[in-house]
Structure formats: structure tokens, C-alpha cells
Structure 1
Amino acid sequence: MMDSYLDLITSQHRGREKFMRTVEALLSCSDDIFALAVYLDDEYDLDYATGVQEDVLGEFVGAQRTLPYQPDKGLSPVLDNEAYRNLLRAQIAKNMWKGGIYDIKELWSALFGKGIIIQDNQDMTIDVLAIGIDDQITKEMVRQGLIIPKPQGVRVNYYFSEQAVFGYDLETETIKGYDHANWMNSMPDVSFAYDIDDPKTGMNGYDDSSWM
């Protein structure tokens, strides 16, 4: 920042050594302050913050690193930096949530860049199918209601799928149908196949495939 100000000094004063030293001395303080501000901004950026910086962000948004329950399968209730970052993002999204059920889809995409399917059962419950979550601790946080926001008084049934689910005449990140030009080869994670039952390839029909 100092150099940009020094460049503004006109030629008739630039050769004055005492004047230039005085200006540099005055600017050095503000230059250090500016460098500190940039450093703090980077340190507390949610995409890069770790350790104490993450904990401070958690105090601001209302999410603690230690989970309020004991996770299954011997997992530690103290989140590592990556899992805690997911929780912080989710808490920020909750704080900004407008309250609509289908707004959750936009929040989920912004948080994880992955698909989610929501069905309103019209009985004060909703079914949420989260697609593509592969780590156990995040699944635990979803089940405990720490990740996905929900309307007050509404019960959420959570389901998980590691792959896109089957649907007729649809072609989205979360639902795949017959119309894809080469869908069995280009989407190897999709386990449903019409009129094919081959355990070696993982392709099954209506009776056994995971989409059921």
C-alpha cells in the first residue's frame, strides 16, 4: 500500500530525501495495519480458518466444535477442522434461512454442492433424501438435526443415498431416468437397470436395486 501512495508524489518533491523519508515513516504504520487486516481476513475466512480461528467463528454463529451427543461407531464428539467447517456453514445457512421447506434445496446446494430431495408428506412431516454424503460424522450431524434446517413443529425423516436415484423422464443431478443417451455407462454409480439382473456389474431391476 505504501508504494501506491509514494507513486502519487510529484516529481518536484520526489527527489527530496528528507521529505520522502518522512512520508515513508508516516505510511509505514498504516502499511502494517493494512497488512494485519488482510492477514486477519484470511485467517478468519471460513474456507481456510482452522483451530482457534474456527472456534471464534463458532462463537459468532452459534455452533460448538464439541457435539452435544456421542456419535455412533466410536467417533469422537470433537469435530476436526473439515467437519466443523461443514457445521459452521450449516449454522450460517440456518441463521439466514427464510423458513420455506424448498429453500433448503438451495441452502444444501450452496453448502455441499450436492443433491437433496425433499417431499412434504402433508402431515407435519417431511422426507429428506441426502445424496452423496460419504462421511459418517456428517451423516450423524444430519440425523441429529444440526445440518438441515426445518420448520418449527415439523418432523424430518432422513434418508441417504450415495448415488442418484431412479426416476422416469428426468435428468438431474439427483434423479436419472431412461432418456440419458448412454446412462448405464456414463453414470456408473446408478445401480438401477431396466430388465437387467447382473450382480457382477451391480445392475438390478425393480426387485433388488437400491432405488427402491
Structure 2
Amino acid sequence: MSKYTGLITNYHATKPLFYQHVDLSTRPLVDVSLVMSDLVSAFDIDYATGVQLDVLGKWIGLSRTVSAPIAGIYLEFDKEKVGWDQGVWQGPFDPDEGFTDLSDETYRTVLKVKIAINNWDGQNDTIPYILDKALTGTGIKMAIVDNQDMSISVWLVPDKEYFLNITERLIFDSAMNDGEIIMIPDGFLPSQYGVNPVDRLPAELVWVIKNNYLTVKAAGVRLREFITPSDGYYFFGFDVENDYIAGWDNGAWEENF
């Protein structure tokens, strides 16, 4: 039934043929209206998938298809699965790079950063808001440091809220604030504390970061360094406590990403 059949008067409501005729005539209009209303969410960057996300990429100006190094095929020494009798010899005309399509989630993140870059006013004080909004839910936080010599440094730290599950957060907060004892639920699996959080990032996201798809900088400004904590969630620093730097027992020395 369409919404128009509910407007039929009592006199005609008992006439089956009249009822069916109105329903048949108005149902296409209702269906078209529903499809049109669904287009808003279908092309919302937070919910779009597949070809809808590809269309958004065309509007924004960034394709899903990227050029990436070919790995895991050509012969390499001291590397599993591409050693003797496994890897293929790379000939003189074999390419070093191929084309691949980014997954929906990674492509969505890249598009959000691209939107932010397209709308950026070029001021340093607006960069944190741009990055925080674009990188929400990715597991990373980034800071752009202006070195005052036409170069920038990019700081990348894991987002502790992303890597620690709810139970661990409750335990941590309870311990820090002398709260009540937190009961461990059945089937609880602790996080991999022995593994650097940066090493747990998806390989595709790491490739996107290393190829500067998430770097915000003005034209003519060079990238001096891209660093991350060697362990944990903070860089080490004296007398500084913020989202990126912490002191003893929490901060770690920097290393190139």
C-alpha cells in the first residue's frame, strides 16, 4: 500500500478496484520518493560504501586506485615465501609498482583528510581540529609541528582509547582513582601489551600514512621527519604532559615511522 491509499474516503474505501487503482497509480511515486531520500545517507561520507564512495572520491578529487610497490612476488633473499624456488625473477621490463584499490575504511579516512585539506585556511592553529576530526576511529593521532624553516615534522602516536578495550579502561581508571574493584568478564582477552601499538596498525593504513596521504602542509613546505614513539602511546619529555608527550614510565624515545 502507498500512503495515498490512506486518504481514500469511506465511500470509495469499500471498492476493491478503486483501491487497487489508486495504489497502482501512486506506488511508483512513493518508491521514487523513498529512493531519493535514501540518497542523502547513501552518499554521506560516514556511511557510503563501494561505488557511492567512489563517486564521492571524484567530487573530492582523489581516486580509490593508487600506485603501490609490488611485494611478495619477486625473488628476495632472507625473506619467507619469495626465496629460492618461490619468488619470481624480476626481468628488465617487469614493473616495480602496480595499482591497487584502497578498502572502504581506509579510503574514507583519506577522503576525510582530503576534504579537510581542501577547506584548510593555511593556519597552523586550525590543523589540530582538522586532523582530530578526520582521524577519529582510525587508532592514531597526528600532530603537525612547524619548524619555522619552511619545513614541518609529523608526530604520530597511537590512540590509547582505540587500543584499550572497555574493561581495561575501567581497570586503569579504578587503579588511578582508588575506585572499586572491577570484575573480569568471562572470555576476557587482554590487549597485547608486549607489542608496540604502532605495529598493530593495519598495513594498508600504514602504507597510506607513509605515502603522505594524511599529511597536511602548505605548498612549498618540505617534510623534515615523520616520527612515532618507539614504544607505548607518548613521546618522552621533561615537565610536559599532554596528548603526545609524557614523562618517566610513560614516554618513549622517538623513532622514524
- TM-score, reference length from structure 2: 0.57
Q: 1:94 to 1:117 in 2, by over 3 A?
A: closer
Alignment of 1:128 with 2:196, yes or no, is: no
In the TM superposition, what are the counterparts of 1:5-44 in structure 2 within 5 Å? 20-44=19-43
User: 2:122, 2:218 within 8 Å by CA — same for their partners in 1?
Assistant: yes
Identical positions, percent: 29
- Structure 1 pair 76–135 and aligned structure 2 pair: CA distance change class (3 A): farther
73-82 or 157-166, larger mean C-alpha shift: 73-82
More strand by share: 2
The answer for the alignment partner of 1:196 in structure 2 is none
* Alpha-carbon contact 1:129-1:158 (below 8 Å) kept: yes
5 Å matches for 1:194-209? 209=252
Corresponding residue number in structure 2 for 1:92: 115
1:13-162 to 2 correspondence within 5 Å? 20-70=19-69, 77-78=99-100, 79-113=102-136, 114-132=140-158, 134-156=201-223, 157-161=225-229
The amino acid across from 1:160 in the alignment is T
Q: Where do 5+ consecutive residues of structure 2 fail to align? A: 74-96, 159-197
Tell me what 2:174 maps to. none
Listed one character per residue, the Cα deviations across residues 65-100 of structure 1 (whole Å, up to 9, x for unaligned) are 222453778897512222222222222222222222
Distance 1:73 1:62, change over 3 A: farther
Q: In structure 2, how many angstroms separate the alpha carbons of the residues matched to 1:52 and 1:21?
A: 37
Q: Deviations over 1:80-128 (max 9, x none)?
A: 2222222222222222222223322111111112432332111101111
Q: Secondary structure in 1 aligned to 2:156? A: strand
Query: How many residues are aligned here?
Result: 184
Alpha-carbon contact 2:67-2:98 (below 8 Å) kept: no
Letter matched to residue 204 of structure 2: I
Give the secondary structure class of the aligned counterpart of 1:24.
helix
**Aligned equivalents of 1:176 and 1:160: distance in 2?**
13
Provide Cα deviations, 1:45-67, integer angstroms capped at 9, x if missing partner.
Answer: 32333333322222221111222
Matched letter for residue 157 of structure 2: I
User: Contact 1:102–1:118 at 8 Å: present in 2 too?
Assistant: no
Shift of 1:175: 2.9
RMSD: 3.4
- Is the CA contact (8 Å cut-off) linking 1:66 and 1:77 kept in structure 2? yes
Structure 1 gaps of 5+ residues are 179-183, 185-189, 193-208
For residue 168 of structure 1, report the CA deviation from its aligned partner.
Answer: 4.4
Residues 115-152 of structure 1 show CA distances to partners (whole Å, capped at 9, x for unaligned) of 32332111101111021262343333233332222111
Distance 1:73 1:20 in 2: 65
| 2:244 matched residue in structure 1 | 174
